[in-house]
A and B are shown apart, each in its own frame.
Chain A
Amino acid sequence: MMPNGIDLDGLKKGGASPSGVERREFLKIGLAITGVFAGGTVFSLASNVGRALASPDEVYKKYPYKPHYSMVIRQNRCIDCERCKQACKATNHVPDYGYRTTILEKDVPGAIGQKREFIPVLCNQCNNPPCVRACPTGASYKDKTTGIVLIEDKKCIGCKTCMLACPYNARYFDDEKRSVDKCNFCFDTRLSKGEKLTACAAICPAHARVFGDLSERGGEVYQLVHQIVTPVWVLRPSVGTKPNVFYTKG
């Protein structure tokens, strides 16, 4: 048995010592299995963007919404200045006890160099939103044009099932509105008034939050997601929500 020109049987018996070439070939097998061989990106794109949309083919062909609003978070650019949180609160009248977006901290003590990274999180505006399915009165719904998950405040009975259904802890109950509240990509406060960006994306000094139309070829969001060089992922893909918030580094 000599895959890739390595005498594996011989090595197993301990009779032969591996040559330099064999070592390199052996490493390649490992890299191919883990997906790193192809820059790690074939795996990431096929699995993550594919999960985010209905099927991998649809990544390039069809989008459920027009404009298909999405956000790409370039995680390593976030410096935790929290201006996005302030801008969000000011724009959307978010009360002190709640938030629509926040920044999580992750410490990696064993890492070389930088040991902490920041992960901005917000509503993922899922294509398959569990909150919408759970809501008894249809107060939470998927906007048919933009794909944004919206809430019709007056229909919210405050059962809070949506808060439990959401895998991203994106929702809280707003006492003033008497309704559950969450990020809506600034739909009522900015997008519907002609603005092109959400408040958080507009203010971010590091351009960590890239907002736009996922289906617009040539757009920045499109460019960041539809490539195989840099890994792109989504949060909790196993839950099957097909998020429209993507994460990358770079």
Chain B
Amino acid sequence: MENREVQLSDIVKGVAASFDSSFPANWWSNVLEHLSGRKIFYVLLALSGLIVFAAAMAGLDALNIGHRVAYGVTREIPWGLLIATYIFFVVTSTGLCIVSSIGHVFGLESFMPIAKRSVFLAIVTILAGFSVIFFEIENPFRMAIYNVISPNLSSNIWWMGTLYGAYLVFMIIEYAFLLIGNHRFAMYAGLMGLIAGISAHSNLGAIFGALHARPFWYGPFMPIYFIASAMMSGAAAIIFFTYLGYKLNGEMLDAPMERALEVVGKVAALMISILLFFEIWKVITGLDGGPSEVATMKAILAGPYAINFLGFEITIGMVIPFILFLRSRFRNIGMMFAASMLMLVGIFMMRYDIVVVGQIVPSYYELGVNEYSHLMVYHPSFHEIMITAGGMGIAAMTFLLGERVFRGHKSEIH
């Protein structure tokens, strides 16, 4: 036992040391330096535009041939990669709204410099999410009609959709006020956006949490977990996009912005530790649950989803970024950028896991029938992957354009 501990700590030291030698030394800084300049901007813009175009083609093709043929989802696993991607985007949007509101709504000075870019990105990411869900919903045009004229007030998905609609409107109003420099009204719109966003997001969690038929999701855990993980996503996105924005504009971070990223980095590290705590207890209680929960836990710990969960979600998405944050002392921005990038990768996988793993145990698993004695399988299809890439492309393209059009989201709030 003791030997094992020694080995583990050696490994951690080794990993940390290898980061130490490469940060901030040559190769990583070199990679980052290449991001500056006009050329790379247009290359990235063209690339993301191309992806969006290809994705739009794939999406239209999916509409044409039908989701049943185009997508990998089934009767047993009706929600797949596209729902996960939608959640990834709206969680990030809500997180951007929550974390940035600490400054421009609640007045904490050190958060102020990130406000404009964060609000802009919150709009960008939710629009990317809506674009993806447009291709996921079978009848998106009916949705626009019947969500309005035939609402079911006991449905979480109705509340989620409606509140996210309101959220988008408030965020756009807020950004408009920020642009014209009316900070009082921007604050009010931001507060309304925050309330709508948090309500929408907890309803998104409750869509899963209120499904009694699905033991892995059922309970108050999901809405709470969604809000906490939104803050984690938001903090990661702020560091990632702010740093990228400055690099693309070929500018150095000024002192207030460095200070802002330092506190956002601390929020990110704090949220990682909270989320790890959530995950640990989810797993421990799950292992003590009924046969369905135990089967789910086995799938993520030692089964088909172990690489996703332990590898991507926990190690790449949380443990390594946490070590990087601590080693960066929240000052080495390059290292924090790397941490936030890994977090975004891990968080994407986290969304995929929470959606898909909740469905792999079939409804009749505990009945002991031959048809449903094993876990269900889902593989994303080409169309689903393309539309997901398209969502990323939309986010990337609008982010890039935003940096140019709004000149690096300057003009600070005081």
15 A-B residue pairings within 8 Å (CB atoms): A97-B68, A104-B367, A130-B213, A133-B210, A138-B152, A139-B150, A155-B142, A155-B150, A156-B139, A157-B140, A159-B143, A163-B75, A169-B363, A173-B78, A240-B212
A168 within 8 A of B: yes
Min CB distance, B12 to chain A, in Å?
40
B364 touches A157 (CB 8 A): no
B138 touches A158 (CB 8 A): yes
Q: Mark A119-149, 1 if CB is under 8 A from B, else 0.
A: 1010000000010011111110000000000
- Please report the number of residue pairs spanning A and B whose Cβ atoms sit closer than 8 angstroms: 129
B152 touches A135 (CB 8 A): yes
A164 touches B359 (CB 8 A): yes
A107 within 8 A of B: yes
Excluding A119-B369, A158-B138, 18 further A-B contacts by CB distance (< 8 Å) are: A104-B371, A105-B370, A106-B369, A106-B370, A121-B364, A130-B212, A134-B155, A134-B157, A134-B207, A135-B152, A136-B143, A137-B142, A139-B146, A139-B150, A156-B138, A161-B157, A167-B213, A169-B362
What are the residues of chain B within 8 A of A134 when measuring CB–CB? 155-157, 207, 210-211
A65 within 8 A of B: no
B188 within 8 A of A: no
B76 touches A136 (CB 8 A): no
Which residues 136-190 of A sit at the B interface, judged by CB distance below 8 A?
136-139, 154-161, 163-169, 171-173, 175, 178
What are the residues of chain A within 8 A of B370 when measuring CB–CB? 104-107
Which residues 145-166 of B sit at the A interface, judged by CB distance below 8 A?
146-147, 150-152, 154-158, 161
A229 within 8 A of B: no
The contact size tier of chain A is 35 or more
Most A-side CB within 10 Å, residue of B76, B78, B367: B78
A105 touches B369 (CB 8 A): yes
Q: Which applies to chain A's interface (DSSP): helix, strand, loop or mixed?
A: loop
Q: Mark A76-87, 1 if CB is under 8 A from B, else 0.
A: 000000000000
Rounded to whole angstroms, the CA-CA distance of A235 and B139 in the bound complex is 32
A164 touches B211 (CB 8 A): yes
Rounded to whole angstroms, the CA-CA distance of A134 and B367 in the bound complex is 24
B75 touches A155 (CB 8 A): no
A18 within 8 A of B: no
What are the residues of chain B within 8 A of A135 when measuring CB–CB? 152, 155
Q: Which applies to chain B's interface (DSSP): helix, strand, loop or mixed?
A: loop
Q: Mark B202-220, 1 if CB is under 8 A from A, else 0.
A: 0000010011111000000
Rounded to whole angstroms, the CA-CA distance of A153 and B161 in the bound complex is 20
Min CB distance, B357 to chain A, in Å?
13
Rounded to whole angstroms, the CA-CA distance of A156 and B150 in the bound complex is 11
Given A98-B75, A139-B146, A158-B137, the answer on whether A133 and B68 have CB atoms closer than 8 Å is no
B369 touches A167 (CB 8 A): no
A191 within 8 A of B: no
Q: Mark B347-388, 1 if CB is under 8 A from A, else 0.
A: 000000000000100111011111110000000000000000
- B75's nearest neighbour on chain A, judged by CB, is A172
- B133's nearest neighbour on chain A, judged by CB, is A159
- A95's nearest neighbour on chain B, judged by CB, is B68
B367 touches A119 (CB 8 A): yes
Task: Pick from B79, B140, B152, B367: contact of A160, CB below 8 A.
Answer: B79
A27 within 8 A of B: no
- A163's nearest neighbour on chain B, judged by CB, is B78
Rounded to whole angstroms, the CA-CA distance of A169 and B372 in the bound complex is 11
- B359's nearest neighbour on chain A, judged by CB, is A164
A36 within 8 A of B: no
Most A-side CB within 10 Å, residue of B73, B75, B210, B362: B75
B66 within 8 A of A: yes
Q: Mark B188-231, 1 if CB is under 8 A from A, else 0.
A: 00000000000000000001001111100000000000000000
Given A97-B68, A133-B155, A137-B151, the answer on whether A164 and B212 have CB atoms closer than 8 Å is no
